[in-house]
Amino acid sequence: MSVRTATTSTAAAVLGAGALLLPAAQPQETATTLPSDRRASPVVVAHRGASGYAPENTLAAADAAKALGIEWVENDVHRTRDGVLVVLHDTDLKRTTNAEEVFPDRAPWAVEDFTAAEIAKLDAGSWFGKQYAGAGVPTLAQFVNRLERNRQKLLLEIKSPASYPGIERDILRVLRQEGWLDRSHVRDRLVIQSFGADSVKKVHALRPDITTGFLGTPPVADLPGYAAFTDQINPSHTTIDADYVAAVQRLKGPHGKRLRVNTWTVNDAANAAKVHAYGVDGIITNYPDVVRDATR
Protein backbone atom coordinates (compact mmCIF):
# COMPACT_ATOMS: atom_id res chain seq x y z
CA MET A 1 0.00 0.00 0.00
CA SER A 2 2.24 2.80 -1.27
CA VAL A 3 1.81 6.15 0.44
CA ARG A 4 3.58 8.54 -1.90
CA THR A 5 3.10 7.75 -5.56
CA ALA A 6 2.73 10.52 -8.10
CA THR A 7 -0.76 9.79 -9.31
CA THR A 8 -2.07 13.25 -10.13
CA SER A 9 -0.97 16.71 -11.07
CA THR A 10 -3.03 17.99 -8.15
CA ALA A 11 -0.47 16.74 -5.63
CA ALA A 12 -0.06 19.04 -2.66
CA ALA A 13 2.47 21.88 -2.76
CA VAL A 14 4.21 23.43 0.21
CA LEU A 15 3.28 27.00 1.17
CA GLY A 16 5.61 27.24 4.14
CA ALA A 17 5.01 26.90 7.87
CA GLY A 18 3.31 23.58 7.27
CA ALA A 19 0.52 25.02 5.10
CA LEU A 20 -0.86 22.73 2.42
CA LEU A 21 -2.06 23.69 -1.04
CA LEU A 22 -4.67 21.12 -2.00
CA PRO A 23 -6.57 20.75 -5.27
CA ALA A 24 -9.24 23.28 -6.04
CA ALA A 25 -12.48 22.82 -4.13
CA GLN A 26 -14.54 19.91 -5.40
CA PRO A 27 -18.23 19.16 -4.86
CA GLN A 28 -18.83 17.32 -1.62
CA GLU A 29 -18.77 13.52 -1.78
CA THR A 30 -22.41 12.53 -2.32
CA ALA A 31 -22.20 9.23 -0.44
CA THR A 32 -22.20 10.31 3.16
CA THR A 33 -22.94 7.17 5.15
CA LEU A 34 -20.56 4.23 4.96
CA PRO A 35 -22.74 1.72 6.82
CA SER A 36 -25.97 2.39 4.93
CA ASP A 37 -27.49 0.07 2.34
CA ARG A 38 -27.14 1.92 -0.97
CA ARG A 39 -25.97 1.23 -4.48
CA ALA A 40 -24.85 4.66 -5.73
CA SER A 41 -21.28 5.84 -6.33
CA PRO A 42 -18.89 4.30 -3.82
CA VAL A 43 -18.07 6.10 -0.61
CA VAL A 44 -14.51 7.43 -0.70
CA VAL A 45 -12.47 6.86 2.46
CA ALA A 46 -9.22 8.72 3.13
CA HIS A 47 -6.68 6.01 4.01
CA ARG A 48 -4.80 7.03 7.16
CA GLY A 49 -6.21 10.44 6.33
CA ALA A 50 -5.40 11.93 2.94
CA SER A 51 -2.02 10.25 3.23
CA GLY A 52 -0.95 11.05 -0.31
CA TYR A 53 -0.84 14.71 0.71
CA ALA A 54 0.13 14.72 4.39
CA PRO A 55 1.90 12.36 6.80
CA GLU A 56 -0.28 9.33 7.44
CA ASN A 57 -2.36 8.98 10.60
CA THR A 58 -1.61 12.54 11.75
CA LEU A 59 -4.06 15.31 12.46
CA ALA A 60 -2.69 17.02 9.35
CA ALA A 61 -3.80 14.05 7.23
CA ALA A 62 -7.32 14.28 8.66
CA ASP A 63 -7.34 18.00 7.90
CA ALA A 64 -6.11 17.34 4.36
CA ALA A 65 -9.06 15.00 3.81
CA LYS A 66 -11.37 17.69 5.14
CA ALA A 67 -9.88 20.22 2.72
CA LEU A 68 -10.68 17.83 -0.13
CA GLY A 69 -14.29 17.52 1.02
CA ILE A 70 -13.86 13.91 2.18
CA GLU A 71 -15.95 12.88 5.16
CA TRP A 72 -14.71 9.35 5.91
CA VAL A 73 -11.23 8.92 7.40
CA GLU A 74 -9.55 5.57 8.11
CA ASN A 75 -6.98 5.21 10.87
CA ASP A 76 -4.99 2.55 12.77
CA VAL A 77 -4.88 2.09 16.54
CA HIS A 78 -2.21 0.59 18.81
CA ARG A 79 -1.72 0.63 22.59
CA THR A 80 1.32 1.99 24.43
CA ARG A 81 3.13 0.35 27.32
CA ASP A 82 1.08 2.38 29.79
CA GLY A 83 -2.24 1.65 28.13
CA VAL A 84 -2.83 4.75 26.00
CA LEU A 85 -4.31 4.26 22.53
CA VAL A 86 -2.32 5.93 19.75
CA VAL A 87 -2.90 6.33 16.02
CA LEU A 88 -0.11 4.76 13.99
CA HIS A 89 0.04 2.10 11.30
CA ASP A 90 3.16 0.06 11.98
CA THR A 91 3.81 -2.05 15.07
CA ASP A 92 7.07 -0.14 15.47
CA LEU A 93 7.97 3.55 15.36
CA LYS A 94 10.85 3.42 12.88
CA ARG A 95 9.29 4.27 9.54
CA THR A 96 7.15 7.28 10.39
CA THR A 97 8.89 8.84 13.41
CA ASN A 98 12.39 9.79 14.54
CA ALA A 99 12.35 7.20 17.33
CA GLU A 100 15.73 5.78 16.33
CA GLU A 101 17.29 9.21 16.75
CA VAL A 102 15.53 10.13 19.99
CA PHE A 103 15.80 6.68 21.59
CA PRO A 104 18.87 5.07 19.93
CA ASP A 105 19.11 2.28 22.50
CA ARG A 106 15.48 1.13 22.33
CA ALA A 107 15.49 -1.19 19.29
CA PRO A 108 13.27 -2.55 17.80
CA TRP A 109 11.19 0.52 18.76
CA ALA A 110 7.92 -1.39 19.14
CA VAL A 111 4.95 0.82 20.01
CA GLU A 112 4.05 -1.43 22.95
CA ASP A 113 7.49 -0.82 24.52
CA PHE A 114 7.04 2.95 24.82
CA THR A 115 4.90 5.08 27.10
CA ALA A 116 2.53 7.66 25.70
CA ALA A 117 4.75 10.43 27.08
CA GLU A 118 7.76 9.03 25.23
CA ILE A 119 5.85 8.74 21.97
CA ALA A 120 4.61 12.30 22.40
CA LYS A 121 8.24 13.46 22.09
CA LEU A 122 8.56 12.05 18.58
CA ASP A 123 8.34 13.81 15.22
CA ALA A 124 5.88 11.97 12.96
CA GLY A 125 5.92 14.47 10.10
CA SER A 126 9.45 15.19 8.93
CA TRP A 127 9.79 11.89 7.07
CA PHE A 128 7.02 13.07 4.73
CA GLY A 129 8.17 16.67 4.29
CA LYS A 130 10.00 19.32 6.25
CA GLN A 131 6.86 21.46 6.36
CA TYR A 132 5.39 18.83 8.70
CA ALA A 133 8.29 18.83 11.14
CA GLY A 134 6.98 18.49 14.66
CA ALA A 135 3.73 16.76 13.79
CA GLY A 136 3.09 14.24 16.53
CA VAL A 137 1.63 10.78 16.84
CA PRO A 138 -1.92 11.54 18.00
CA THR A 139 -3.72 9.64 20.69
CA LEU A 140 -7.04 8.14 19.69
CA ALA A 141 -8.77 10.76 21.82
CA GLN A 142 -6.97 13.57 20.01
CA PHE A 143 -7.76 12.04 16.64
CA VAL A 144 -11.49 11.62 17.18
CA ASN A 145 -11.70 15.11 18.62
CA ARG A 146 -10.15 16.47 15.43
CA LEU A 147 -12.62 14.47 13.34
CA GLU A 148 -15.44 15.85 15.46
CA ARG A 149 -14.25 19.39 14.87
CA ASN A 150 -14.03 18.65 11.14
CA ARG A 151 -17.43 16.92 11.12
CA GLN A 152 -15.79 13.81 9.70
CA LYS A 153 -16.49 10.12 10.17
CA LEU A 154 -14.22 7.30 11.28
CA LEU A 155 -13.29 3.89 9.91
CA LEU A 156 -11.14 2.65 12.80
CA GLU A 157 -8.79 -0.28 12.33
CA ILE A 158 -7.63 -2.29 15.33
CA LYS A 159 -4.02 -3.16 14.52
CA SER A 160 -2.39 -6.40 15.69
CA PRO A 161 -5.10 -7.11 18.28
CA ALA A 162 -3.38 -10.29 19.46
CA SER A 163 -0.54 -8.10 20.76
CA TYR A 164 -2.91 -6.02 22.87
CA PRO A 165 -5.29 -8.23 24.88
CA GLY A 166 -8.40 -6.28 25.76
CA ILE A 167 -7.79 -3.48 23.28
CA GLU A 168 -11.38 -3.72 22.05
CA ARG A 169 -12.70 -2.65 25.46
CA ASP A 170 -10.07 0.08 25.64
CA ILE A 171 -11.14 1.47 22.27
CA LEU A 172 -14.79 1.44 23.22
CA ARG A 173 -13.97 3.15 26.52
CA VAL A 174 -12.13 6.00 24.78
CA LEU A 175 -14.82 6.37 22.14
CA ARG A 176 -17.45 6.53 24.86
CA GLN A 177 -15.48 9.12 26.85
CA GLU A 178 -15.09 11.28 23.76
CA GLY A 179 -18.78 11.11 22.85
CA TRP A 180 -18.49 8.73 19.91
CA LEU A 181 -20.79 5.99 21.16
CA ASP A 182 -24.02 7.95 21.19
CA ARG A 183 -26.77 7.01 18.77
CA SER A 184 -25.86 9.47 16.01
CA HIS A 185 -22.17 8.52 15.90
CA VAL A 186 -22.85 4.78 16.04
CA ARG A 187 -25.54 5.00 13.38
CA ASP A 188 -23.81 7.25 10.85
CA ARG A 189 -20.20 8.06 11.72
CA LEU A 190 -18.35 5.01 13.03
CA VAL A 191 -17.14 1.66 11.71
CA ILE A 192 -14.61 -0.57 13.51
CA GLN A 193 -12.62 -3.08 11.46
CA SER A 194 -9.69 -5.46 11.82
CA PHE A 195 -7.82 -8.24 10.08
CA GLY A 196 -8.42 -10.22 13.26
CA ALA A 197 -11.77 -12.01 13.06
CA ASP A 198 -11.73 -12.66 16.81
CA SER A 199 -11.25 -8.95 17.45
CA VAL A 200 -14.20 -8.06 15.22
CA LYS A 201 -16.28 -10.67 17.05
CA LYS A 202 -15.35 -9.09 20.38
CA VAL A 203 -16.43 -5.64 19.25
CA HIS A 204 -19.70 -7.06 17.99
CA ALA A 205 -20.29 -8.93 21.26
CA LEU A 206 -19.52 -5.88 23.38
CA ARG A 207 -21.49 -3.41 21.28
CA PRO A 208 -23.70 -5.20 18.74
CA ASP A 209 -25.06 -1.84 17.56
CA ILE A 210 -21.68 -0.78 16.14
CA THR A 211 -21.02 -1.40 12.46
CA THR A 212 -18.02 -3.70 12.04
CA GLY A 213 -15.82 -4.73 9.14
CA PHE A 214 -13.52 -7.68 8.50
CA LEU A 215 -10.37 -6.88 6.54
CA GLY A 216 -9.59 -9.65 4.09
CA THR A 217 -11.05 -11.82 1.36
CA PRO A 218 -12.66 -14.89 2.93
CA PRO A 219 -13.61 -17.73 0.56
CA VAL A 220 -17.16 -17.41 -0.72
CA ALA A 221 -18.12 -20.63 1.08
CA ASP A 222 -17.06 -19.07 4.41
CA LEU A 223 -18.89 -15.78 3.98
CA PRO A 224 -22.10 -16.83 5.83
CA GLY A 225 -20.03 -17.40 8.97
CA TYR A 226 -18.62 -13.88 8.77
CA ALA A 227 -22.09 -12.44 8.22
CA ALA A 228 -22.96 -13.56 11.74
CA PHE A 229 -20.68 -10.94 13.31
CA THR A 230 -19.64 -8.36 10.73
CA ASP A 231 -21.42 -5.90 8.47
CA GLN A 232 -18.63 -5.44 5.94
CA ILE A 233 -16.06 -7.49 4.08
CA ASN A 234 -13.20 -5.14 3.23
CA PRO A 235 -10.68 -6.78 0.88
CA SER A 236 -7.65 -5.66 -1.09
CA HIS A 237 -8.66 -4.53 -4.56
CA THR A 238 -6.16 -7.01 -6.04
CA THR A 239 -8.11 -9.97 -4.63
CA ILE A 240 -11.64 -9.30 -5.90
CA ASP A 241 -13.79 -9.32 -9.01
CA ALA A 242 -17.43 -8.57 -9.73
CA ASP A 243 -18.52 -12.11 -8.85
CA TYR A 244 -16.89 -11.92 -5.43
CA VAL A 245 -18.45 -8.54 -4.67
CA ALA A 246 -21.87 -9.86 -5.67
CA ALA A 247 -21.42 -12.95 -3.50
CA VAL A 248 -20.71 -10.77 -0.46
CA GLN A 249 -23.58 -8.42 -1.16
CA ARG A 250 -26.10 -11.24 -1.45
CA LEU A 251 -25.71 -11.91 2.26
CA LYS A 252 -27.21 -10.03 5.19
CA GLY A 253 -25.18 -9.10 8.21
CA PRO A 254 -26.07 -9.01 11.90
CA HIS A 255 -28.09 -5.80 11.50
CA GLY A 256 -30.29 -7.30 8.79
CA LYS A 257 -28.76 -5.24 5.98
CA ARG A 258 -26.78 -6.62 3.10
CA LEU A 259 -23.06 -6.93 3.60
CA ARG A 260 -20.98 -4.13 2.16
CA VAL A 261 -17.64 -4.24 0.37
CA ASN A 262 -15.07 -1.49 0.93
CA THR A 263 -11.86 -2.19 -0.96
CA TRP A 264 -8.31 -0.91 -0.41
CA THR A 265 -5.89 0.70 -1.29
CA VAL A 266 -6.85 2.18 -4.67
CA ASN A 267 -4.68 5.13 -5.65
CA ASP A 268 -5.27 5.66 -9.37
CA ALA A 269 -8.22 6.43 -11.60
CA ALA A 270 -8.04 3.23 -13.67
CA ASN A 271 -8.28 0.90 -10.70
CA ALA A 272 -10.91 3.10 -9.10
CA ALA A 273 -13.06 2.80 -12.21
CA LYS A 274 -12.48 -0.95 -12.31
CA VAL A 275 -13.59 -1.65 -8.75
CA HIS A 276 -16.48 0.78 -9.16
CA ALA A 277 -17.62 -1.38 -12.07
CA TYR A 278 -17.41 -4.40 -9.77
CA GLY A 279 -20.06 -2.73 -7.62
CA VAL A 280 -18.06 -2.05 -4.45
CA ASP A 281 -19.69 0.12 -1.81
CA GLY A 282 -16.59 2.02 -0.76
CA ILE A 283 -13.02 2.66 -1.87
CA ILE A 284 -10.20 3.33 0.60
CA THR A 285 -7.43 5.47 -0.88
CA ASN A 286 -4.45 7.69 -0.16
CA TYR A 287 -5.66 10.04 -2.91
CA PRO A 288 -9.37 10.49 -2.26
CA ASP A 289 -9.79 13.28 -4.80
CA VAL A 290 -8.47 11.04 -7.59
CA VAL A 291 -10.83 8.21 -6.68
CA ARG A 292 -13.80 10.53 -6.21
CA ASP A 293 -13.30 12.10 -9.63
CA ALA A 294 -12.90 8.70 -11.30
CA THR A 295 -16.08 7.25 -9.83
CA ARG A 296 -18.56 10.11 -9.96
Please write down the HEC assignment for all residues of 235-260.
CEHHHCCHHHHHHHHCCECCCCCECE
**In the annotation, is 185 catalytic?**
no
Nearest to 128 by CA among 277, 11, 268: 11
- Identify whether the C-beta of residue 71 lies closer than 8 Å to the C-beta of residue 29: yes
Residues 6+ apart with CB under 8 A from 54: 12, 20, 60, 61, 63, 64, 128, 132
The single residue of 47, 204, 237, 276 carrying the catalytic annotation is 47
Cα(119)–Cα(164) distance, integer angstroms? 17
In three-state secondary structure terms, 66 is helix
Kindly report the number of other CB atoms within 10 A of residue 162's CB atom. 9
Q: Nearest-CA neighbor of 137 among 77, 88, 79?
A: 88
100: part of which helix (H) or strand (E)?
A: helix 99-102
> How far is Cα 142 from Cα 147, in angstroms, rounded to an integer?
9
| Residues 72 and 34: beta-carbon distance below 8 Å | yes
CB 86 within 8 Å of CB 80? yes
Q: Among the options 78, 89, 185, 204, which is catalytic?
A: 89
Q: How many CB atoms lie within 10 A of CB 176?
A: 12
Task: Identify whether 47 is a catalytic site residue.
Answer: yes
Which residues are identified as catalytic? 47, 89
